[in-house]
A and B are shown apart, each in its own frame.
Chain A
Amino acid sequence: MTRLGRPRKWPRGAVHMSIYLPADLRDEIERRALVRRMSISEYAVNLMLRGLEIEKEMEARQNAKTKEVP
Chain B
Amino acid sequence: MPRPRKFPDKGVIITAYVPRELYEKVRELAKSRGTSISEVVNDLIKKGLEGAGSDIVAMATDSPDPPGDTFQEAIKGLEPLERERVLQFLKELDDVEAKLAKLRSNTPKKASILRNTLQDYMMSQEVVELKATVNRLKHTYEKVIKKTVRNSVVLNMVGERLLRLMKELGVPA
Interface residues contributed by chain B, number (CB under 8 Å): 54
Q: Check B21–A12 contact: CB distance below 8 A.
A: yes
User: A32 — which chain B residues lie within 8 A by C-beta?
Assistant: 49, 52
> Taking the nearest CB of chain B, how far is it from the CB of A62, in angstroms?
14
CB of A67 closer than 8 Å to a CB of B: no
Q: Check B140–A11 contact: CB distance below 8 A.
A: yes
A25 to B48 alpha-carbon distance, docked (Å): 12
Q: Check A50–B47 contact: CB distance below 8 A.
A: yes
Among B54-62, B64-72, B155-163, which stretch is in contact with chain A? B54-62
- Say which residue of B10, B12, B136 sits within 8 Å of A3 (CB atoms): B136
> Taking the nearest CB of chain B, how far is it from the CB of A67, in angstroms?
14
User: A70 — which chain B residues lie within 8 A by C-beta?
Assistant: none
Q: Check B13–A19 contact: CB distance below 8 A.
A: yes
Q: Give the interface SS of chain B, mostly helix, strand, loop or mixed.
A: helix
A32 to B7 alpha-carbon distance, docked (Å): 22
User: B80 — which chain A residues lie within 8 A by C-beta?
Assistant: 46, 49-50, 53
Q: Check A54–B41 contact: CB distance below 8 A.
A: no
User: A28 — which chain B residues lie within 8 A by C-beta?
Assistant: 49
- Say which residue of A8, A20, A44 sits within 8 Å of B13 (CB atoms): A20
Q: Which residues B34-56 have CB closer than 8 A to chain A?
A: 37-38, 41-52, 56
Known contacts A3-B136, A16-B17, A17-B23: A46-B79 contact under CB 8 Å: yes
User: A42 — which chain B residues lie within 8 A by C-beta?
Assistant: 81
Residues of B in contact with A (beta carbons under 8 Å apart)? 6-7, 9-23, 25-26, 37-38, 41-52, 56, 59-60, 62-63, 79-81, 83-84, 88-89, 91-92, 132, 135-136, 139-140, 143-144
Residues of A in contact with B (beta carbons under 8 Å apart)? 1-3, 6-26, 28-29, 32, 38, 40-42, 44-55, 57, 60
